Amino acid sequence: DAKTTQPTSMDCAEGRAANLPCNHSTISGNEYVYWYRQIHSQGPQYIIHGLKNNETNEMASLIITEDRKSSTLILPHATLRDTAVYYCIVRVGEGSSNTGKLIFGQGTTLQVKP
Amino acid sequence: NAGVTQTPKFRVLKTGQSMTLLCAQDMNHEYMYWYRQDPGMGLRLIHYSVGEGTTAKGEVPDGYNVSRLKKQNFLLGLESAAPSQTSVYFCASREPGRGGRKAFFGQGTRLTVV
């Protein structure tokens, strides 16, 4: 799986958009970008994923650059409950020798401040 | 719908003791994973399984064994616990699929080896 690089920490004001970047310059054509978050010491929670197109769901938006070497997770109106560690993961699609693996990096600690 | 359930939630072991952590999922998922998370660090993959009766090594498999005798259960065993295995253990499951599938995580097992 491609390696990802994320900033160690970020701050965001409550009510503002939080933009979390992720670099994955070695990503391959069949690798998906996933975002998970971990609040306090709970189990990680799925947020969103995409392959090449931008994606949006009820939690967030995912913007993937045209060359797919980086992406940005956007929380449109951050709240205090969004304070968490956010993980960007790049995972191969099905059918490869690495089928199934889900490898986490260090993640970005997002602190939402009042 | 319980999702992914880990048993036990907390455990203290003495060095050299053995124990088994149980992960159960009720979503009929093919893939299951065991991770460990040390303080201030991201999740590291111990072992994973892509189906009943199959297991594979992850990033940090030494000192652990796993079994997937039933599709819904994934067991993680410590034959002779060491203080270095003090950690929080997370189990996850997901469905395979070319369109990408999200993983569901349990709430963790906090293990202390003294």
pLDDT tens by residue, A28-57: 887 889 999 999 889 999 999 998 889 999
Q: What is residue A98's predicted lDDT score, i.e. its pLDDT?
A: 54
Give residue B64's pLDDT. Answer: 98
Q: Give the model confidence (pLDDT) of A66-91 as tens digits.
A: 999 999 999 999 999 999 999 999 87
Residues of A in contact with B96 (CB under 8 A): 94, 99-100
What local confidence, expressed as pLDDT, does residue B110 receive? 97
Shortest Cα distance from A112 to chain B (angstroms)?
A: 19
Which portions of chain B are predicted below pLDDT 50? none
Contact (CB<8Å) B104/A46: yes
Q: Do β-strands A9-13 and A108-113 pair in parallel, antiparallel, or remain unpaired?
A: parallel
Q: What count of other Cβ atoms lies within 10 Å of the Cβ of residue A2?
A: 18
In whole angstroms, what is the distance from residue B91 CA to residue B24 CA?
9
**A18: amino acid identity, one letter:** A
Mean pLDDT on A90-100 = 62
Distance CA B90, CA B74 (A): 11
Chain A interface with B: residues with Cβ < 8 Å: 32, 34, 36, 41-46, 49-51, 85, 87, 91, 93-95, 99-107
Average pLDDT, chain A: 89
Q: What is the pLDDT of residue B101?
A: 75
Question: What's the pLDDT score for residue A97?
Answer: 53
Q: What pLDDT shows up at residue B88?
A: 97
